[in-house]
């Protein structure tokens, strides 16, 4: 598995190894994920080289691996099959009842919630989730039941080969402009995913997302459609959302057939109430008692890098969140404001990819309202092939906020925040890159190394 240190391939590696398949992998650098794979008995080599193919019968690559990769080139010359992650996942889902969770926002937490419900209620699912969850003891497991929970990624059209029993779409918005030209292209990809949900299965869709509604109309799916959300015509409705004292969120969940019941979560924010609404809708389609699902979700602790409380030092609380899309940033900051209304919220944002920053500039400009201070660091390029078409300095000039500033790289951001932070503040690091290092360094009493 080339790029096995990524969150996606590392999860697949664990499931395959647990099923008795001999798995090896490589990546450009060592990480916590590669070290945990090695500890689980999956050999991981740092670096790339044709010598890694000895005894190999199949090579698996992610979207990040180019055709010029030395192992890919050597495998093709040797006649060893090379498959994309999307092809392998489609093969793994054959013969089982898949629950594929897709959407622009919320799919990691929602898929973790679905897996958590099934695990807690003794259904022993296989699951592959795009984030580490303490409830699930990681991001993957090979269960023995018919259920297979999968976080389905739209990037590079990766989810289009799946044929799940339950297809769940949280919402659809413009994202991944390096892959999709416009929202119509994004919607078309989701329509393909929706159309491939099994005819005897269920399509669970966010009723509050206009683009998701349009995608259902375009897909004309054979599966039964269940709508969830706050909309009046939703089959599963969320209402009366309230922050809980001490953290978390509570709401009322109403199903056309199962009635109304209270749900109380440990994780904060209306967006997590919506994620839970979706997870309960999906598992209800699978025959799970929704009251039991609600009780299980009350024990759900969340996913790493999703409003993860990292610690506190000198009266400053540090939280990290993976939010890198304007909608996710807005929801995360709203959750922070609701949970900690007495604290000054300092948002440190590291934009992720030049293409997303440029394409969604107008949306980024108005997503920081719930922060008191906004500090922007240099863009995390993520993909070496991208050209630097925009800068965080330009983003700072566009952001409509009373106290926004561009602060340079992570080291300079660390120095700046050391001067600005004061007791009672909440520092929240936002982004899909390595900006979380600033928060971790603050807690450790040191600056980020250059």
Residues 92, 140 contacting (CB under 8 angstroms) = no
Residue 388 makes CB contacts below 8 A (sequence gap 6+) with 354, 379, 381
Provide the CATH number for the domain formed by 93-297 in this structure: 3.40.1190.10
**What is residue 208's three-state secondary structure?**
coil
Q: Which of 215-229, 288-302, 356-370, 375-389 has the lowest mean pLDDT?
A: 375-389
pLDDT at 104: 95
Question: Within the chain, which residue ranges are assigned CATH 3.40.50.720?
Answer: 7-84
DSSP letter string over 120-156?
HTT---EEEEEEEETTTTEEEE--SSSEEEEEPP-GG
Per-residue pLDDT, 178: 87
> Beta strand 316-321 with 425-430: parallel, antiparallel or unpaired?
parallel
Q: What angle do CA 422, 426, 431 make, to 5 degrees?
A: 125
Number of neighbouring beta carbons within 10 Å of residue 247: 14
DSSP secondary structure string, 13-65? HHHHHHTT----EEESS--HHHHHHHHTT--EEES--GGGGTT-S-EEE-TT-
DSSP state of 244: P
Please name the residues in contact with 54: beta carbons below 8 A apart, sequence gap of 6 or more. Answer: none
pLDDT of 156 strictly over 90: no
Q: What are the residue numbers of the active site?
A: 107-108, 151
What mean pLDDT is predicted for residues 228-248? Answer: 92
Provide the pLDDT for residue 124.
Answer: 97
At 386, the pLDDT band (50, 70, 90 cuts) reads confident
DSSP percent split of the chain into helix, strand, coil, nearest 5: 35, 25, 40
Name the segment(s) of the chain with CATH classification 3.90.190.20: 308-444
Predicted confidence band of residue 450 (pLDDT cuts 50, 70, 90): low
Determine the longest span between alpha carbons in the chain, in angstroms: 63
Distance (Å, whole) CA 35 – CA 47:
14
What gap in Å lies between CA 1 and CA 59, rounded to an integer? 6
Residue written as token pair 């990292």: 310
Rounded to an integer, the average pLDDT of 31-60 is 90
Q: Does an H or E element contain 242, and which?
A: strand 236-243
Closest CA to 179 of 381, 450, 425, 386: 386
pLDDT, tens digit (0-9, with 9 covering 90-100), for 94-112: 999 999 999 999 999 999 9
Neighbours of 272 (CB within 10 A): 27
Banded pLDDT at 197 (limits 50, 70, 90): very high
Taking only the tens place, the pLDDT of each residue in 81-90 is 999 999 999 9
CATH assignment of 308-444, among 3.40.50.150, 3.20.20.140, 3.40.50.360, 3.90.190.20: 3.90.190.20
- Rounded mean pLDDT of 128-149? 92
In contact, 127 and 149? CB cutoff 8 Å: yes
Give CA angle at 108 (104, 111), nearest 5°.
110
Exposure letters 152-162 (e unless 16+ CB within 10 A, then b): bbbbbbbbbbb
The pLDDT score that the predictor gives to residue 151 is: 96
User: What confidence score (pLDDT) does residue 63 get?
Assistant: 79
How many beta carbons lie within 10 A of that of residue 19, not counting itself?
Answer: 11
Homologous superfamily assigned to 7-84: NAD(P)-binding Rossmann-like Domain (3.40.50.720)
What mean pLDDT is reported for the chain?
A: 93
Burial (CB < 10 A; 0-12, 13-18, 19+), residue 333, is buried
Contact of 447 with 417, CB cutoff 8 Å: no
- The pLDDT of residue 221 is above 60: yes
For residue 76, the model assigns a pLDDT of 95
Q: Which pLDDT does position 66 carry in this prediction?
A: 86
- Determine the 3-state secondary structure of 233 from DSSP: coil
The string of pLDDT tens digits covering residues 303-334 is 888 889 999 999 999 999 999 999 999 999 99
- Give which of 339, 292, 332, 302 is closest to 110, Cα–Cα: 302
Asked whether the predicted pLDDT for residue 185 surpasses 70, the reply is yes
- Overall average pLDDT of the 47-74 stretch: 89
Cα 436 from chain centroid? 16
Residues 433 and 402: their CA atoms lie apart, in Å, by 26
Q: Where in the chain is the domain with CATH 3.40.1190.10?
A: 93-297
Mean pLDDT of 133-153: 93
Residue 17 CB neighbours (<10 A): 18
């Amino acid at each position: 598995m080339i790029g096995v240190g990524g969150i996606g391939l590392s999860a697949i590696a664990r499931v395959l190894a647990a099923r008795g398949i001999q798995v090896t992998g490589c990546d450009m650098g060592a990480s916590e994920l590669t070290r945990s794979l090695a500890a689980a008995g999956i050999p991981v080599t740092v670096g790339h080289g044709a010598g890694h193919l000895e005894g190999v019968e199949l090579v698996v690559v992610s979207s990040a691996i180019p055709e010029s990769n030395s192992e890919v080139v050597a495998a093709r010359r040797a006649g060893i099959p090379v498959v994309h992650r999307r092809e392998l996942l489609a093969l793994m889902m054959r013969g089982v009842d898949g629950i594929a969770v897709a959407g622009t926002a919320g799919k990691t937490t929602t898929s973790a919630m679905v897996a958590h419900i099934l695990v807690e209620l003794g259904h022993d699912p296989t699951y592959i989730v795009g984030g580490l969850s303490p409830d699930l003891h990681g991001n993957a497991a090979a269960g023995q039941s018919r259920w297979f929970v999968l976080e389905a990624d739209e990037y590079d059209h990766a989810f289009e080969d799946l044929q799940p029993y339950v297809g769940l779409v949280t919402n659809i918005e413009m994202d991944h402009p390096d892959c999709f030209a416009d929202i119509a292209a994004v919607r078309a990809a989701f329509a393909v995913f929706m159309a491939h949900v099994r005819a005897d299965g269920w399509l669970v869709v966010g009723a509050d997302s206009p683009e998701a509604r349009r995608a259902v109309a375009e897909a004309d799916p054979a599966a039964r459609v269940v709508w969830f959300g706050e909309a009046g015509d939703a089959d599963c409705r969320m209402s009366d959302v309230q922050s809980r004292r001490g953290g978390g969120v509570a709401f009322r969940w109403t199903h056309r057939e199962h009635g109304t019941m209270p749900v109380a979560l440990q994780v904060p924010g209306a967006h997590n109430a919506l994620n839970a609404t979706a997870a309960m809708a999906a598992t209800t389609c699978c025959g799970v008692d929704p009251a039991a699902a609600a009780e299980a979700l009350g024990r759900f602790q969340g996913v790493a890098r999703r409003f993860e409380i990292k610690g506190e030092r000198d009266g400053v609380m540090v939280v990290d969140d993976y939010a890198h899309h304007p909608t996710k940033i807005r929801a995360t900051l709203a959750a922070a404001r609701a949970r900690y209304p007495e604290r000054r919220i300092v948002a440190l944002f590291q934009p992720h990819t030049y293409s997303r920053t440029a394409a969604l500039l107008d949306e980024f400009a108005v997503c920081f309202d719930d922060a008191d201070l906004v500090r922007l660091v240099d863009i995390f390029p993520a993909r070496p092939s991208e050209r630097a078409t925009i800068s965080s300095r330009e983003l700072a000039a566009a952001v409509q906020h009373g106290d926004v500033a561009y602060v340079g790289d992570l080291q300079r951001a660390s120095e700046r925040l050391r001067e600005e932070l004061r007791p009672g503040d909440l520092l929240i690091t936002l982004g899909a890159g390595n900006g979380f290092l600033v928060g971790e360094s603050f807690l450790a009493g040191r600056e980020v190394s250059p």
